[in-house]
Amino acid sequence: MLSDDEWAEAAEELMHQTGIAPRDDPDACRWIAVRHADDHVHVVAMLAREDGRRPDVTRDYLKARKACRVLEERWGLHRTAPADRTAAPRPTRPELECARRTGAREPTRCALRRRVAAVAASAGDEEAFFAGLRERGLLVRLRFSVRTPGEITGFAVADPSYTNAEKAPIYFSGGKLAADLTLPKLRHRWGASVDVASARRAARMRRSVVGFDERNQAYREAARAAATAARHMRQTSDPRVRADIATAATDVLHVAADITGSRELAEVADVYARAAREPFGRPPVATQPGNGLRAAARLVAAVNIGIGDRRDRRRDLTVELLFLVANLLDVMDQLAAHREAQGRAAQAEAARRASERLRVAERGASSSRVRPTPPNVAEVQHAGRLAAEAFPVPLADGLRHIAARPSSPVPQRSQTRRGPKP
């Protein structure tokens, strides 16, 4: 607990760091601090200086965070994380109140962020991106260049059911949803991960009816890509490779949550996105492991188009999808250690929380004792126990359906004949 003098000093530091009332400025804004509780004060400031000018309050939230850091160091308080510009914009007070009045589970901004992120992860270009948004029933408004007629420079989306007092839809630009969802940064993401073969394959699957074998193969390829990315996260020390893998894993999580309808996976994807996002939403340098994850996300999304019932999407391929998620858990753990080494405490905590939420689901779903097994088999059982909690369709139902279905032959890996050893 701080004394009255210490709280007064804290309020003065806040006014100084934000530029509202700098020290030794007789013409600064007038302000007061009111303490009506033991653990906080309220500060009220006039946004007009004594000389008639307005104070510069640009990015005052970031400046206030700096003031808190100064006081923590001065008084030996618990050190909190600095502002790292990786958090997504929070819902405003009116948005929160509207969600509460209507009984919505979350504000519209959060739901839109998740839906736009899922479409961006499954699309390979902006044409498919805008078409995917409209297919989901969202309103899309494009922003055109004033210098180059016909050039699209940005976009905004709206939920038709979320309107203002005049019954007009309320639009959110990509940057208002997340720093990495602006159109220029999405274009960089799509252009950096161009793989002609995988792009053509995904486009072909989008236009045709995909059978079980093709879907099964797509899920297995995605699991292998995730395993390769996890291995690179463990073995490499290049921060650029780690940053790209972490960002690409977000796409896979968003797609997995979208095609399964799993609320648990959706929340994990939201939390993990904070850990994987670079400051200011800057896109990382594209790498081969990251591009493999992005291609896997688009392929998994493509093979599920046209399968209307989410239960049908999961029924046969629950186990394959869980192998993919289990490999992403390894990426989360490695990212948490990487962010901790970088000194990004908020992102490290976000990665740990995302990983822990999956592990909590695993422990909650494990109702029977499991015999000690080797690590590779334990990972399979880890994925199986996770299924019962993380996905609406119980794993037991999926396994019974798989057992009843005639097994398809698994293609054997070709072996090169070698001569006898000397």
* Model pLDDT for residues 207-255, shown as the tens digit of each residue: 455 567 777 788 888 889 999 999 999 999 899 999 999 999 999 999 9
- H or E element: which one contains 142? strand 139-144
Residue from 183, 177, 64 nearest 123 by CA: 183
**CA triple 101-105-110, angle to 5 deg:** 105
Give the C-alpha distances (Å, rounded to integers) separating 284 from 185, 239, 266, 281, 305: 10, 10, 23, 9, 29
33 close to 42: Cβ distance less than 8 angstroms = yes
Band the pLDDT of 273: cuts 50, 70, 90: very high
Mean pLDDT for the stretch of residues 190-200: 59
Instruction: Enter the DSSP assignment of 55.
Output: P
pLDDT at 422 over 60: no
Of 104-113, 311-320, 348-357, 371-380, the poorest mean pLDDT is in 371-380
Mean pLDDT for the stretch of residues 385-392: 38
Query: Long-range contacts made by residues 211-214, C-beta under 8 angstroms, separation at least 24?
Result: 212/316, 212/408, 213/408, 214/303
Mean pLDDT for the stretch of residues 130-150: 93
Strand 152-158, strand 172-173: pairing: antiparallel
Three-class SS state of 24: coil
- Tell how far CA 87 is from the center of its chain: 10
Residue 208: what pLDDT?
A: 53
pLDDT tens string 300-349 = 888 876 544 445 544 555 667 777 878 888 999 999 999 999 988 889 99
pLDDT higher for 372 or 282?
A: 282
pTM (2 d.p.): 0.73
Residues in the chain: 422
State the Cα–Cα distance between residues 231 and 322, nearest whole angstrom: 18
State the Cα–Cα distance between residues 180 and 189, nearest whole angstrom: 9
Output the six-digit token pair for 294.
């992005």
State the Cα–Cα distance between residues 249 and 252, nearest whole angstrom: 5
Band the pLDDT of 182: cuts 50, 70, 90: very high
Residue 394: what pLDDT?
A: 38
Output the six-digit token pair for 322.
């869980």
pLDDT at 417 over 80: no
Number of other residues whose CB lies within 10 A of the CB of residue 418: 6
pLDDT higher for 69 or 377?
A: 69
Instruction: Quote the mean pLDDT of the chain.
Output: 80
